[in-house]
Amino acid sequence: MFYKSIIQGRLSFGTQKSYDKVVKMFEYRTETYYKGDIMLKLEDVFNLEELCLNIPRFVGNASEKSFKNTIDLLSYCSQFAVAGSVQGWMIDSGKIINHASIEPDSDRSVVQQFKKGDQFFREGSKNTEALEAFSKTIESYEKHAQAYERRGWVNLRLRHISDALYDFNKAIKLDDSIAFAYYGKGLIAENEGNVEEAMENFSQTIKKSVALESVHWRARLRKADCLIEMEEWDKAAFELKFFTKRTFPSSDSNFRRKPKGHALYGRVLFELGDHELALEELDKAIELHSEDMKDVNISEVLYYRGLAKKALGKKDFIADIKSSSEKGSEKAKQLLEELVP
């Protein structure tokens, strides 16, 4: 039986000696261990100029054995790498039945230094230690794209904005497939009010990631925010339709963003004149909303739901406008004054 399979990523080997060894072992193991049952061809993935194994994105149908063989071979190759990561997915009817995450895991100092920094980074509270570890990683191997990307996020946490932007740009220059670097740049641009620049970076995040990754959907929602700011209603609707139709497990951070997705989609549909569907989406936003989901402006949701009800001739629209006004909406307060002199 064959399944849709996706593999993407990059492994950097640092020296000609390591690169040459990996190429030889890749070819030898393909023929000897796996009898040619590998999804990737040597000539398609190895890059002599950059001394790396590079898979921008491979999509194909493969048997479970072929997928396992390929992941095993890539895992073996990662032992010789100093930087990078490779992700692999096998999918059946939209469901992930196998996922592999491959990163260098040798005793080489640069690898261990990066792993140390990554552990500090994931703990969330040891930003100074993470910053130091990633800086040491870069000192050991100046082309370590992942170290720049992670250091960028640490700098962003510490509000060192210019340093974060430098790191994200450096990561992209070294490896333009790192989706999180574009996402970080998008957040910086959005925070500074550069909406078009933010949208472009979120678009790149979407392009460089796959729909099986959480960051892909976070970027779609952020991009929709930018398009709304630009009043590009049709384009915003396109992004939000995908987001709201997606089912996220409770462990995915996008699960908590679903109310916001429905709220934004409802507003966009209202602006496009589809008041009935707008009302449905705004109802879902209110139904799913809870107090811990602070990124949802409930007063605005009530305001647009009131407008949608009014456009549909529903008499209870005034209750939503009043509630929106009570929760601080100046637009609702002004409308209420016009409706009830």
Last residue of a domain, one of 177, 195, 213: 177
Instruction: Look at residue 290 and tell me if it is in a domain.
Output: no
pLDDT tens readout for residues 237-260: 999 999 999 999 999 999 999 999
Nearest to 145 by CA among 184, 178, 187: 178
Whether residue 55 is found in the same domain as residue 138: no
pLDDT of amino acid 293 = 59
Instruction: Look at residue 49 and tell me if it is in a domain.
Output: yes
Instruction: Look at residue 78 and tell me if it is in a domain.
Output: yes
Instruction: Look at residue 259 and tell me if it is in a domain.
Output: no
Whether residue 98 is found in the same domain as residue 10: yes
Whether residue 122 is found in the same domain as residue 158: yes
Answer whether 228's CB lies under 8 Å from 300's CB.
no
At which residue do the structure tokens 């879902």 appear? 284
Instruction: Look at residue 223 and tell me if it is in a domain.
Output: no
Give the span between the Cα atoms of 85 and 95, in whole angstroms: 23
Q: Is the pLDDT of residue 125 over 90?
A: no
At which residue do the structure tokens 């811990």 appear? 292
Whether residue 97 is found in the same domain as residue 11: yes
Whether residue 98 is found in the same domain as residue 56: yes
Whether residue 78 is found in the same domain as residue 25: yes
pLDDT of amino acid 115 = 96
- CATH number of the domain that residue 146 is part of: 1.25.40.10
Answer whether 261's CB lies under 8 Å from 232's CB.
no
Last residue of a domain, one of 148, 177, 206: 177
pLDDT tens readout for residues 265-285: 999 999 999 999 999 999 999
pLDDT band at 22 (very low <50, low <70, confident <90, very high): very high
pLDDT of amino acid 291 = 60
Give the span between the Cα atoms of 87 and 11, in whole angstroms: 11
At which residue do the structure tokens 């054995």 appear? 65
pLDDT of amino acid 40 = 97
Whether residue 47 is found in the same domain as residue 131: no
Whether residue 36 is found in the same domain as residue 118: no
Q: Is the pLDDT of residue 230 over 90?
A: yes
Answer whether 208's CB lies under 8 Å from 179's CB.
yes
Whether residue 111 is found in the same domain as residue 98: no
Q: Is the pLDDT of residue 233 over 90?
A: yes
Whether residue 85 is found in the same domain as residue 55: yes
Tell me what the pLDDT averaged over the chain comes to: 95
Q: Is the pLDDT of residue 338 over 90?
A: no
Whether residue 74 is found in the same domain as residue 141: no
Number of domains in the chain: 2
Give the span between the Cα atoms of 61 and 175, in whole angstroms: 27
At which residue do the structure tokens 């100074």 appear? 128
Give the span between the Cα atoms of 28 and 335, in whole angstroms: 74
pLDDT of amino acid 119 = 95
Give the span between the Cα atoms of 82 and 140, in whole angstroms: 10
pLDDT tens readout for residues 72-85: 999 999 999 999 99
Instruction: Look at residue 311 and tell me if it is in a domain.
Output: no
Q: Is the pLDDT of residue 340 over 80?
A: no
Last residue of a domain, one of 68, 102, 136: 102
pLDDT tens readout for residues 100-124: 999 999 999 999 999 999 999 999 8
pLDDT of amino acid 118 = 95
Q: Look up the domain containing 159 and give its range.
A: 107-177
Instruction: Look at residue 94 and tell me if it is in a domain.
Output: yes
Whether residue 114 is found in the same domain as residue 97: no
Greatest alpha-carbon pair distance for the chain in Å reads 85
Instruction: Look at residue 144 and tell me if it is in a domain.
Output: yes
pLDDT tens readout for residues 134-167: 999 999 999 999 999 999 999 999 999 999 999 9
